[in-house]
């Protein structure tokens, strides 16, 4: 209880405590003796003390306001004085403001991106309850797979889990605009309720009707929803669009609605769902009518009110157990669901990138603050005399510290304002070079949160660089300062600046190492063998829609006709087509391809990517044949099923043996259905990386297009004159084959490969920029320190010269001084880099986070800059005339 009295006592003014503390406590004891012992007494005593404090405090502090007014007047005067002081040293003021504004601006820019991507809620109704459900094949350890329609139906029926749950699959469609031009657009196949799950209502018209599990078992609603963009381009924003139809894949479909402007699907990049889909078609109402074993739906569920993720996971576990028990088609894969917040999952790949960038700009700000602190210290030492005079005239320590802090505050405010401007420009810059893979980066803007962040960062910066000069000024006593001629106390102060410089060198080394590692990663990625030769290759899509060309033979005839005609063009050296081009965006086609005689339970160990290719494809892409042969025109629909497999699958299915001539059981697409079909391996090709240069193939099986005619084809054309040289001729040839065909998504393959590295390039470039700026700041910092210390030692140098030192000795003395700091900083920096670069982990490829070469290189660059920074003042010191120096 006595502690309570002591605590309450702290609330009283100092003067009161000084005089009455003992008596106050004695009176408290008297009160304590008057109440009964036990908790009731304690309670009464506590109440009495609190009431007493409340009553007494206002009167105890009644002279407070007057003092505050007085203090405020002092503050304003100090502020004005500080502003005048800064105006008298514009060089100091501007260099401090500039380096700080750069640091604050960089933080603001990166934060505004992080804010938009990581922190802003998704633009859907009540986005906190939106989740994404992934499938996990427990038998083959494959994760993040789509779900089968029947699984979505089961999820929807689980009581108390989702308020609503729907799925989407991205594909493409050929639409015909009113002028009769065919264009290929990204399209979606969705469960009827999908947009409702997101809480999206069309801007015009209506959503698809019905819900999952509706008892009506009719066909899918035959109508389409279209994007605002398509409405504008194809229907010229016709408000009567709802009475019109859109020809989709040759079939005229009524337009049911137009989606809101700017509506985007925000999915993780590996979900293969583009942000903008132009045409939405609906799956049938009853998902149980659809094939059970094909999984293609990316599933979004809105959790029922009050259900949290943990409960959600328990519930989806129950559903997946039920699904495994009731559907033998699914049991062998061991489907198991996992549930994640949609937002967190969508930005899951961007998160580490942004975190690394935030850390880098954070370090950069630290460095900029250190620079300003160093400058401010130098300034404080130059003003030692002024402060001593103030002190002897009666200024208190607090008042003097306040004066110095005012300068820091003014610099900080100016830097914050400029930094915010720099930051919003920087955010635009980041936006302009954003990598494709970062979801939601469209919405970057400098909003209230960003401004708040900038203010916070600036305050931090002011505290960081402001405390050093304040503390130093407050510490140096009157007597010492007035007595000293200046030179003798330099030691202490220089050492504070020296330590700051050491810190700067260390921080810039960390940044340099990080940037170096990322640069080497980029190099490794661009050198990485992707398994084919992307140079001079152009790719484009041609959809052979099922509506237009329902027969497999028809699609095959068209594909071989195109191949023949394009191959005949004079500039074209090779061409071919595939259902899935490497580094393309088309949703993957995967399934099991086990060798003959594999037990049912082990089939899933042979999950591989399936592709369907024309005979010219392997040659056109530049893939290597390791044994057997490529496809030929005789591998057609009438002959025995044959496949080519890649090295990864060959090694897995037939370790140590020749795969050619053996039989495996892949999935084939034929007659509109996917069916497991045994096939003979006729060739083995080198593996191709087709997601990222850093991600090895997980095994591939290739069907001849003649035996498995998928409806979407991506052509690759290798031309003598570089990618796209004969594109117009190619288009003409394709139109000549059929006027219904549309060419879309034209891209040089090299660009597709490069785009896969865009995220890394983005971080590496920014990291490099920050590292260079950091290097510059550290160099300036060291330069300042050396200039200062050698100017202090001018007399010493003069004396040395007089007693016989050569100019060279002076030169090396100064340089050694600088390098000593540089070396110390480098050592600290390497230690820090070893610890911190681990966090780059997921962004690196082909280089270890503690790569010695990178570290040595970074240290070398740093020391060279340090050498240069101390060389200039050293040369000046060397040229000092001994006589002048001694006299000075």
Partner 1 sequence: MAFSQEDTVTTRPLASTNFYVLLALADRERYGLDVAEDVARRTNDAVVLGPGSLYNTIKKMLAEGLIEETTPKDRGEGREHDPRRRYYRITRAGRAALTSEASRLAVLVEAARDKKVLPAR
Question: What phi and psi values does residue 717 have, to the nearest 5 degrees?
Answer: -125, 125
**DSSP tag of 342:** H
d(CA 698, CA 691): 10
We find the least distance from the C-beta atom of residue 841 to partner 1, in angstroms, to be 59
Cβ proximity to partner 1, 31 vs 876, nearer residue: 31
Cβ proximity to partner 1, 22 vs 803, nearer residue: 22
Cβ proximity to partner 1, 52 vs 317, nearer residue: 52
d(CA 162, CA 154): 11
We find the least distance from the C-beta atom of residue 49 to partner 1, in angstroms, to be 7
Cα–Cα nearest to 555, from 713, 703, 735: 713
Cβ proximity to partner 1, 58 vs 597, nearer residue: 58
- Name the β-bridge partners of 413: none
d(CA 36, CA 38): 7
Cβ proximity to partner 1, 21 vs 554, nearer residue: 21
Cβ proximity to partner 1, 21 vs 755, nearer residue: 21
Cβ proximity to partner 1, 31 vs 348, nearer residue: 31
Question: What phi and psi values does residue 433 have, to the nearest 5 degrees?
Answer: -115, 25
d(CA 791, CA 880): 10
Cβ proximity to partner 1, 7 vs 119, nearer residue: 7
What is the binding site for partner 1 (CB under 8 A)?
A: 5, 8, 12, 16, 19-20, 23-28, 30-31, 34, 48-49, 51-53, 55-57, 59-60
Name, in order, each residue with C-beta under 8 angstroms of 668's C-beta and a sequence gap of 6 or more: 641, 674, 675, 676, 677, 679, 703, 707, 708
Cβ proximity to partner 1, 34 vs 67, nearer residue: 34
Cβ proximity to partner 1, 23 vs 179, nearer residue: 23
H or E element that contains 491: helix 490-527
Locate tokens 């039920």: which residue?
322
Cβ proximity to partner 1, 60 vs 805, nearer residue: 60
d(CA 231, CA 257): 10
We find the least distance from the C-beta atom of residue 777 to partner 1, in angstroms, to be 54
Q: Do 330 and 323 touch, CB atoms closer than 8 A?
A: yes
We find the least distance from the C-beta atom of residue 8 to partner 1, in angstroms, to be 7
Cα distances from 470 to residues 78, 319, 466, 759, in angstroms, run: 14, 65, 6, 43
Cα–Cα nearest to 105, from 420, 528, 406: 420
We find the least distance from the C-beta atom of residue 55 to partner 1, in angstroms, to be 6
d(CA 683, CA 65): 91
We find the least distance from the C-beta atom of residue 16 to partner 1, in angstroms, to be 6
Cβ proximity to partner 1, 63 vs 732, nearer residue: 63
d(CA 818, CA 827): 14
Cα–Cα nearest to 132, from 39, 198, 229: 198
d(CA 595, CA 653): 6
Cα distances from 128 to residues 162, 352, 359, 655, in angstroms, run: 13, 22, 27, 49
Cβ proximity to partner 1, 63 vs 436, nearer residue: 63
We find the least distance from the C-beta atom of residue 827 to partner 1, in angstroms, to be 58
d(CA 867, CA 814): 10
d(CA 406, CA 420): 21
Cα–Cα nearest to 480, from 415, 412, 391: 391
We find the least distance from the C-beta atom of residue 10 to partner 1, in angstroms, to be 12
d(CA 208, CA 395): 78
Cβ proximity to partner 1, 5 vs 122, nearer residue: 5
Indicate the SS3 state at residue 64: helix
DSSP string, 390-449: HHHTT--HHHHHHHHHHHHHHHHHHHHHHHHHHHHHHHHHHHHT--TTSTTGGG----HH
Cα distances from 564 to residues 561, 567, 730, 731, 747, in angstroms, run: 5, 5, 11, 14, 21
Cβ proximity to partner 1, 1 vs 455, nearer residue: 1
d(CA 558, CA 216): 39
Q: Do 501 and 780 touch, CB atoms closer than 8 A?
A: no
We find the least distance from the C-beta atom of residue 396 to partner 1, in angstroms, to be 24
Indicate the SS3 state at residue 212: coil
Cβ proximity to partner 1, 25 vs 744, nearer residue: 25
DSSP string, 294-335: ---BEEEEEEPTT--HHHHHHHHHHHHHHHHHH-HHHHTTTE
Cβ proximity to partner 1, 33 vs 852, nearer residue: 33
Name, in order, each residue with C-beta under 8 angstroms of 760's C-beta and a sequence gap of 6 or more: 518, 521, 522, 525, 843, 845
Cβ proximity to partner 1, 26 vs 126, nearer residue: 26
Name, in order, each residue with C-beta under 8 angstroms of 20's C-beta and a sequence gap of 6 or more: none
Question: What phi and psi values does residue 719 have, to the nearest 5 degrees?
Answer: -115, 150
């Amino acid at each position: 209880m006595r502690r309570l009295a002591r605590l309450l006592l702290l609330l009283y003014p100092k003067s009161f405590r000084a005089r009455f503390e003992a008596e106050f406590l004695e009176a408290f004891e008297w009160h304590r003796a008057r109440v009964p012992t036990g908790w009731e007494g304690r309670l009464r005593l506590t109440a009495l003390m609190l009431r007493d404090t409340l009553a007494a405090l206002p009167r105890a502090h009644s002279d407070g306001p007057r003092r505050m007014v007085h203090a405020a007047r002092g503050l304003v005067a100090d502020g004005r004085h500080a502003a005048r002081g800064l105006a008298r040293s514009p060089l100091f003021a501007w260099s401090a403001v500039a380096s700080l504004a750069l640091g604050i601006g960089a933080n603001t820019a990166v934060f505004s991106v992080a804010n938009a991507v990581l922190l802003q809620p998704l633009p859907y109704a009540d986005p906190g309850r939106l989740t994404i459900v992934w499938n996990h094949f427990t038998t083959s350890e494959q994760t993040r797979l789509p779900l089968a329609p029947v699984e979505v139906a089961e999820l929807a029926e689980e009581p108390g889990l989702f308020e609503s749950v729907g799925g989407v699959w991205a594909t493409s469609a050929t639409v015909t605009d009113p002028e009769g031009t065919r264009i290929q657009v990204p399209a979606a196949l969705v469960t009827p309720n999908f947009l409702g799950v997101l809480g999206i209502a069309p801007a015009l018209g209506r959503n698809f009707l019905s819900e999952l599990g509706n008892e009506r078992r009719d066909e899918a609603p035959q109508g389409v929803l279209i994007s605002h963009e398509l409405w504008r381009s194809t229907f010229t924003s016709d408000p009567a669009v709802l009475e019109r139809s859109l020809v989709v894949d040759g079939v005229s479909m009524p337009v049911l609605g137009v989606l809101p402007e700017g509506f985007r699907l925000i999915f993780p990049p590996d979900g293969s769902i583009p942000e903008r889909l132009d045409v939405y078609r609906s799956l049938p109402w009853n998902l149980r009518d659809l094939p059970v074993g094909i999984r293609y739906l990316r599933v979004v569920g809105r959790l029922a009110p009050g259900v949290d993720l943990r409960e959600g996971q328990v519930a989806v576990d129950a559903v997946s157990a039920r699904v495994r028990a009731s559907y033998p088609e699914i049991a062998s894969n061991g489907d198991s669901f996992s549930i994640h917040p949609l937002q967190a999952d969508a930005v899951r790949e961007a998160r580490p990138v942004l975190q690394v960038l935030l850390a880098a700009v954070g370090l950069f700000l630290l460095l900029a603050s250190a620079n300003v602190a160093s400058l401010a210290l130098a300034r404080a030492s130059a003003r030692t005399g002024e402060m001593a005079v103030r002190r002897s005239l009666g200024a208190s320590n607090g008042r003097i510290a306040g004066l110095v802090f005012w300068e820091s505050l003014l610099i900080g405010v100016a830097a914050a304002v400029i930094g915010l401007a720099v930051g919003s420009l920087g955010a635009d810059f980041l936006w302009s070079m954003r990598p494709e893979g970062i979801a939601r980066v469209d919405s970057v803007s400098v909003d209230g949160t960003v401004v708040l962040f900038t203010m916070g960062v600036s305050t931090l910066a002011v505290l960081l660089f402001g405390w050093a000069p304040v503390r130093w000024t407050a510490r140096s006593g009157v007597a010492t300062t007035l007595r000293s001629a200046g030179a003798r106390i330099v030691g202490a102060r220089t050492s504070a600046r020296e330590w700051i410089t050491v810190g700067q060198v260390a921080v810039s080394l960390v940044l340099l190492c990080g940037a170096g590692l990322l640069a080497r990663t980029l190099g490794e990625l661009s050198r990485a063998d992707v398994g084919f030769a992307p140079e001079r290759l152009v790719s484009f899509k041609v959809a052979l829609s099922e509506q237009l060309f329902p027969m497999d033979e028809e699609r095959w005839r068209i594909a071989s006709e195109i191949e023949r005609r394009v191959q005949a063009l004079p500039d074209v050296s090779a061409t071919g087509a595939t259902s899935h081009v490497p580094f393309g965006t088309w949703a993957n086609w995967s399934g099991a391809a086990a060798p003959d005689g594999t037990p049912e339970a082990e089939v899933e160990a042979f999950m591989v990517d399936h592709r369907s290719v024309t005979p010219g494809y392997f040659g056109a892409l530049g893939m290597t044949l390791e044994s057997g042969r490529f496809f030929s025109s005789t591998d057609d629909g009438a002959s025995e099923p044959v496949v080519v497999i890649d090295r990864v699958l060959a090694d897995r299915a037939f370790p140590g043996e020749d795969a050619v001539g053996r039989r495996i059981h892949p999935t084939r697409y034929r007659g509109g259905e996917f069916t497991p079909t045994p096939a003979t391996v006729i060739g083995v090709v080198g593996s191709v990386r087709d997601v990222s240069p850093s991600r090895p193939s997980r095994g591939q099986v290739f069907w001849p297009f003649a035996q498995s005619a998928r409806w979407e084809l991506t052509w690759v054309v290798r031309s003598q004159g570089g990618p796209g040289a004969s594109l117009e001729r190619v288009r003409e040839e394709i139109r000549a084959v059929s006027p219904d065909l549309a060419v879309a998504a034209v891209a040089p393959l090299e660009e597709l490969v490069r785009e896969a590295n865009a995220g890394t390039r983005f971080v590496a470039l920014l990291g490099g920029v920050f590292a260079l700026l950091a290097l510059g700041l550290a160099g300036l910092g060291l330069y300042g320190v050396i200039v200062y210390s050698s100017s202090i030692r001018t007399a010493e140098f003069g004396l040395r010269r007089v007693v016989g030192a050569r100019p060279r000795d002076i030169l090396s003395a100064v340089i050694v001084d600088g390098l000593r700091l540089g070396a110390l900083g480098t050592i600290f920096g390497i230690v820090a880099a070893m610890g911190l670069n681990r966090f780059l982990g997921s962004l690196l490829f082909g280089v270890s986070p503690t790569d010695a070469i990178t570290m040595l290189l970074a240290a070398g660059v740093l020391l060279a800059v340090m050498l240069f920074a101390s060389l200039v003042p050293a040369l000046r010191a060397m040229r000092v005339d001994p006589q002048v120096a001694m006299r000075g």
